[in-house]
Amino acid sequence: MKMKTNKFPLLIGFLIGALVPLFWGVLSFLLFNVPEGWFSRAYWHAVYITCPFWRINGEKALVLMPLLNGCLYAIIALIIAKARRSASATNQSSSGGLAN
């Protein structure tokens, strides 16, 4: 039995994940002078949650961070797509395939 996968959600997930470090990098540059406080702590928590590979240091981070984050988001997109597909198949089989 051959498994059919739709590559579009994977591609979108990868692109969003790869652009997240760029977004946080630009925003961090703009907010560089924000004083230490609740906003700064909340900001960095959001960065580390949405981009766990932000802690990679050095020049290798320029390549690894978008690549790894894109792969992580693609895996999450695959899990969501499979869950939606299985939920849809369950709903169709329980209703007998008839429209209400």
**Type of residue numbered 6:** N
- How does pLDDT run across 38-49, given as a tens digit for each residue? 998 999 999 999
User: Which of left, alpha, beta for 17 (phi over 0: left; psi -120 to 50: alpha)?
Assistant: alpha
Domain boundaries, given as residue ranges, for the chain: 7-86
Number of CB atoms found within 10 A of residue 47's CB: 19
Rounded to whole angstroms, the Cα distance separating 55 from 68 reads: 12
pLDDT tens readout for residues 8-40:
889 999 999 999 999 999 999 998 888 889 998
pLDDT in tens, 62-87: 999 999 999 999 999 999 999 988 88
Cβ atoms of residues 16 and 75 within 8 Å: no
Q: Could you tell me the end-to-end alpha-carbon distance of the chain, in angstroms, rounded to an integer?
A: 31
Pick 95 or 11 by higher pLDDT: 11
Residue with tokens 């849809």: 88
